[in-house]
Structure formats: C-alpha cells, structure tokens
Amino acid sequence: MKKTWIYLENGTFLEANSFGADSTTVGEIVFNTSLSGYQEIMSDPSYAGQFVTFTMPEIGNVGVNKEDMESKSAHAKGMIVRKYQDRYSNFRAEESLKSFLIKHNVMGICDIDTRFLTKMIRTEGAMMMVASTKISDKDELKKILESSPRIEDVNYIEEVSTKEAYKHTTSTYSQTAFKYEDAPKAEATIAVIDFGVKRNILNEIVSAGIGVEVIPNDFKAEDLIEQYNDKKIDGVFLSNGPGDPLVLKKEQEQIKKLIDAKIPMFGICLGHQLLSISHGYDTYKLKFGHHGGNHPVKNVKTGLVEITAQNHNYNVPDNIVEIAEVTHTNLFDNTIEGLRYNNAPIFSVQHHPESSPGPKESRYIFNEFLSLIKR
C-alpha cells in the first residue's frame, strides 16, 4: 500500500495508507454508521463530492458485485476505513473493493482511527478535506484545499443525472432467491426526474405497480404538464441527489410550475428538499448530517417507529407546517422526515424507503404513491 496524507480544514493533518486510486482529491468528509452495504453507499450518486468515513471497522470482506450497484459508477470522492480486507469471501463477489475503487478512480484510505474522525465530525461538523497519495507537505495540501470550491458551491447534479431519457423496467432484486422479482402490471405511469436517482428506488417504484420513464434534470415543466393533461403520465417523482439544494435554481423554477399545475408528486431526500424550497421554504444545513441505516423515524399517523436508511446533510425548516402536515419525524433530533402538502397532491420523505442498504420497514411509502396517483 502507498501512503496517503490528509489535511482537514480545521488544521488536522494525518497520515494513513491507500488501497484505492492514486490521486489528490478534495471533498467533504462525513461519517456513515451502516454495518453493511459499502458498495451501495459508494455507488449512490448522493455521495458525489464527499469522503465517507465508515464507522464499521472491517470493510471489503464481501467484495463487490454488479447486482448491488446503485448506479453505473462510484460517485463518492473516497472512502475512509479502519481496516481494509482485500481477501473477500462471498459467493456473489466478482472483484475486490480495491479493484472496484481503482477502476472508478475513487480514493480508498485505511489504517486510520475512524473513531477519532467520527467524534471530530460529530463535535465540529462536516468539513472540507484534501487527501493525496502524491503530496505529503502539509502547507501544500492546505493551499490546495483553500483554493478549491466547497461542496455547496458545486452543482453535482450536472455530473450524475442521465443525459437521455430512458424507461426502467427492472423490479426489486431478491436477496434470498438471488434474482429479480417479476414486476406487477403497471397501474400508472410516472416521470422520474433524475437528480442522481438510486437504482433500487426505481426498482421499488416498478414493484409497486408503476411504469417508469427517467428523464434528465434539465426537464421542462411545460412538457410534463402537457403529458399529464394528455394522460400519458399520471405523476412525477423527484429523486435523491447530491449537494446543496439551494444551488439548483433552474430545477426549482420548473418544480414551481409543476406545483401550480397540481400534478401528483412524490419526492425522496433531495426531492423532498426541493419541494420545500419550491414552496418558498428554504432548507438549512445540519451540523454533520444523517448518514446510516439505523435512524429511528416515527410515523405520526400510525405512531409506529420505523428504522430507516438516511443520507443527507440538509433539512427542511420547521415552519413549513404552515403549508404542510408532518407525517414523519426523526427520533434522534426531532427533525422533519416526511411531509404531506395541504393544497396539492404532493408528499415527500427525507429518509430512504428503498432499503438499499438498510431496513425495509418504510417500503410501504411507494404503494402510498400509487394510491395517491389513483385517487
């Protein structure tokens, strides 16, 4: 392994080892508390621009396979782990995590105290960092970091969104039968606006009985309104995605038009945030975000607690209750996790009900979208 040097914007300078791409890379450091699913996390477009610190100490032991990819590539800037295991043992594995990261030009950093990093991020908040396998001088790394744009200044949606529209027909993948389940007959058709959509979100939508066409982020609201009026689509889904939602001015303007047209809409994560902003309620940045597969969320209607998967640094404001009903709340910090708007057929959630990786207790939300469309 090569040496890797890390400089964080709070002045911390660290040395570790590298098991990924040889590079000098700038990104935002966050931590993720999931016990499994490192491949899904690294291939989630929502992590574009970020270094992910894993609190799970042993990483790499189950390798990588094509079925667990959430997109066509790995989008995170890098992953930081306590112990990397190159010798994997899993009958589904097709290659090592190391070869996967090198192929996708993603940094892999190991042999470092991830407990220290996690506690630092929890205390001081998510921050920018630079890592390099080529530069060991602290002052030079500091100059690179200070001259680089911050994550909130970059529109990563342009990188991760599809360039051409396509139909998605694949249903969910069975982790017991190790095959894709048969998709039910579609009872409705929607347009999915791709801000960095995860493949398993699309799979779950199809499994709920909804036909899917994925379209780029530079969509025109007038086209979707015309399709809705002509009954070619029955609703719109706003996907997850990376970065600061306040940067996405063009997308906000188009979503406002869809809101005014009363088109049924459902949003997850970034889509949830964009719906809030487009209604006039700007998001704010959390101290260190929610990243992991163990977050308890209360369903306000049923009173039940669901353990959820999460990945976001931004949140909708509390005063949005002026125009929407809160349907879900986070029991860690009482932040809003779900909304149903009062004067339009629109709802959204902050957490990830597609359970990839993570628990499956929130999958019913996709069926609620179908029910909304049919009503």
Query: Hey, what domains does the chain have and what are their CATH numbers?
Result: 2-153 (3.50.30.20), 157-374 (3.40.50.880)
Whether the model clears a pTM of 0.85, i.e. scores above it, the answer is: yes
Instruction: Give the pLDDT confidence score for residue 43 in this predicted structure.
Output: 98
Q: From the CB of residue 254, how many other CB atoms can be counted at a distance below 10 Å?
A: 20
Amino acid residing at 175 = Q
Per-residue pLDDT reduced to its tens digit, 203-253? 999 999 999 999 999 999 999 999 999 999 999 999 999 999 999 999 999
Query: Of residues 269, 295, 306, 337, which has the active-site annotation?
Result: 269
pLDDT band at 355 (very low <50, low <70, confident <90, very high): confident
> What per-residue confidence (pLDDT) applies to 106?
98
pLDDT over threshold 90, residue 44:
yes
* DSSP codes joined into one string, 113-169: -HHHHHHHHHHH--EEEEEESS---HHHHHHHHHHSPPGGG--THHHHS-SS-EEE-
The pLDDT of residue 120 is 98
End-to-end CA distance of the chain: 58
Give the other-Cβ count within 10 Å of 326's Cβ: 16
269 labelled catalytic: yes
Angle at 69 between CA 294 and CA 354, to 5 degrees: 40
Q: Is the pLDDT confidence value at 178 over 90?
A: no
> Mean pLDDT over all residues of the chain?
97
**Helices H / strands E in the chain, number of each:** 10, 21
pLDDT of residue 152: 93
The predicted pLDDT at position 372 comes to 97
- Whether 354 is a known active-site residue: answer yes
The pLDDT confidence band at residue 369, using thresholds 50, 70 and 90, is very high
Mean pLDDT, range 101-128, rounded to an integer? 98
In the 3-class helix/strand/coil scheme, how is 91-104 assigned residue by residue? CCCCECHHHHHHHC
The answer to whether 368 is a known catalytic residue is no
pLDDT score, position 98: 98
pLDDT at 103 over 90: yes
Mean pLDDT across 98-109: 98
For residue 357, pLDDT over 90 is answered with no
Reply yes or no on whether the pLDDT at 148 is more than 90.
Answer: yes
Percent pLDDT > 90 in the chain is: 96
The pair of structure tokens assigned to 228 is 């809705």
Is it the case that residue 272 has pLDDT exceeding 90? yes
| Residue tagged 């009985």 (tokens) | 209
3-state secondary structure of 309: strand
pLDDT of residue 174: 87
Average pLDDT of the segment spanning 82-91? 96
- Segment 262-287 shows an average pLDDT of 98
Mean pLDDT of 27-56: 97
Rounded-to-5 percentages of helix, strand, coil across the chain: 30, 30, 40
**Whether residue 358 has pLDDT greater than 90:** no
